[in-house]
Amino acid sequence: MTALNAGPGVLVAATDPWNRELLGQLVLSVRGDAHIDFCEDGQQAIEHCTQRTYGLVLAEQELPGSDGIDLLRFLRRRQRGSVSPDFILISAKADAASVRAVLPLAPTAYLVKPYNAEDLRQRLRTLLLEPGQEVSTAAPQPVSGSLAAFLSAARDAGEGAPMLAEVGAALSRCLNSEETTLDKLEQEFGRDPQVTGCLIAAANSAARHVGMSCLTLGQALSRLGLAQACNLALGLSLKQVAQLAEPRLSERAELFWSLSQRTADAAQALAEALDVDAPRCYTAGLLHCLGDLAVLRTLEEWLQRGGELSDEQIGESLRGFGAAFGSTLRTRWRLPLELRGLIAAAYGMSSGVFSRKALILNLAAKAARLPASQKARLKEEKALRMLNLEPAQLKLLQGFCTAAEPEPEPEAEPEPGQEPAE
């Protein structure tokens, strides 16, 4: 394996933050030592190019202000007589006239949205690596300071939760099958909180937002489309610490994944029995442990940087930071307020007027944490009385009390106010 002394400079210009992140991650998956600058408009990209020289530019054509073609024209004129950077132009225009109009500027590649991210990744290998060359990613910076300080700093910039191992295999199947449909994708991704949350956030980003907000994975997939959803999922899978290697952390993650899925299933079943919006209830149940999972991912990063971690510190970190990580993550992803309100209901109910969906989430989360031997305690819940559940509906809910021992209790966290009653 050969490592270069200095990584290439790469400029990524895309309006949507999720697209920028995807392109940057594809670059880093090929050249972990690359130095990447990100821009959201054409004028900012041109200013970057006046300040430094790049070996590669990836730019969308549809940039606000100066567009991607203006950027390409600027670079070709400015660097006439010298080595121009490789330039990949990504455009929504697939007609022959649009392609011919760009040809005189000699882009290295012209990709039409939605492009295939894995194909682009292979093209990047030919541009950023010499034949037979592999570049090792530099070792992460060693930790300094306390674990609490590390967690506090990571809270506002963390990558979210790790991904289920089976999602990677599912993604590979979807990328390599011509028979993949949106329904199939929802089945493959619909048990993973990280993928679900990210795709909902991406579908609601300002660059794509039209009409009502997406509150479920199915709605997000319909807006994103098959190719873009697969691209974004691939980008998530390529990130560092997308999987947990430390057994103590992965075991904890399995508990939270199980808890999330059991809560989601309970919420969906009860909502269907009460003729309430089951997909929204399922989604909120699935996402309510995102903060705890994000803490575990951050602890894995702490270990990779040479930090030490005791079992006691794992527990303290989850109790002290799980709620804050979850709240911050959902705010940064700009998940819809209604969805965040339903997630909050899984953590507890304060005084006020609550929607039936919020009451369902509260009951589902409590049921998912109760061992079967204690399922009778559900009869004492205020939310159960407010929903006026029938004996058959209570029995249905009790069927999700399958934990062999009590699950970790969620910490209360600040969230938006409850949605108005239906």
Task: Give tens-digit pLDDT for 148-164.
Answer: 999 999 999 888 999 99
Instruction: Answer yes or no: do 381 and 282 share one domain.
Output: yes
β-partners of residue 86 are: 56
Tokens standing for 25?
């991650």
Instruction: Answer yes or no: do 293 and 362 share one domain.
Output: yes
Instruction: Answer yes or no: do 253 and 325 share one domain.
Output: yes
**411 located within any domain:** no
Containing structural domain, residue 392? 247-398
Q: What is the pLDDT of residue 208?
A: 67
Instruction: Answer yes or no: do 230 and 286 share one domain.
Output: no
> In sequence order, what are the residues at sequence separation of 6 or more whose Cβ sits closer than 8 angstroms to the Cβ of residue 337?
416, 419
Helix, strand or coil, per DSSP, at residue 143: coil
**387 located within any domain:** yes
**266 located within any domain:** yes
CATH number at residue 38: 3.40.50.2300
Task: Tell me which of 238, 261, 279 is where a domain ends.
Answer: 238
Instruction: Answer yes or no: do 219 and 270 share one domain.
Output: no
pLDDT tens-digit profile of 48-99? 999 999 999 999 999 998 999 999 999 988 866 567 899 999 999 989 998 9
| pTM: predicted TM-score of the whole model, two decimal places | 0.91
> In sequence order, what are the residues at sequence separation of 6 or more whose Cβ sits closer than 8 angstroms to the Cβ of residue 261?
191, 286
Instruction: Answer yes or no: do 112 and 255 share one domain.
Output: no
**155 located within any domain:** no
pLDDT tens-digit profile of 97-149? 989 989 999 999 999 999 999 999 999 999 999 887 777 666 677 888 899 99
What is the number of domains present in the chain?
Answer: 3
**223 located within any domain:** yes
Instruction: Answer yes or no: do 323 and 252 share one domain.
Output: yes
Instruction: Answer yes or no: do 386 and 287 share one domain.
Output: yes
pLDDT tens-digit profile of 27-59? 999 999 999 999 999 999 999 999 999 999 999
Give Cα 255 to chain centroid, integer Å. Answer: 20
Give Cα 358 to chain centroid, integer Å. Answer: 24
**149 located within any domain:** no
Instruction: Answer yes or no: do 392 and 261 share one domain.
Output: yes
CATH number at residue 327: 1.10.3210.10
Mean pLDDT of the 182-186 span: 92
| Strands in 64-145 per DSSP E | 86-91, 109-112
Instruction: Answer yes or no: do 192 and 271 share one domain.
Output: no
- Band (4; pLDDT cuts 50, 70, 90): very low
Instruction: Answer yes or no: do 117 and 224 share one domain.
Output: no
pLDDT tens-digit profile of 248-305? 999 999 999 999 999 999 999 999 999 999 999 999 999 999 999 999 999 999 999 9
- Band (416; pLDDT cuts 50, 70, 90): very low
**139 located within any domain:** no
Instruction: Answer yes or no: do 267 and 205 share one domain.
Output: no
Helix, strand or coil, per DSSP, at residue 272: helix
Give Cα 213 to chain centroid, integer Å. Answer: 17
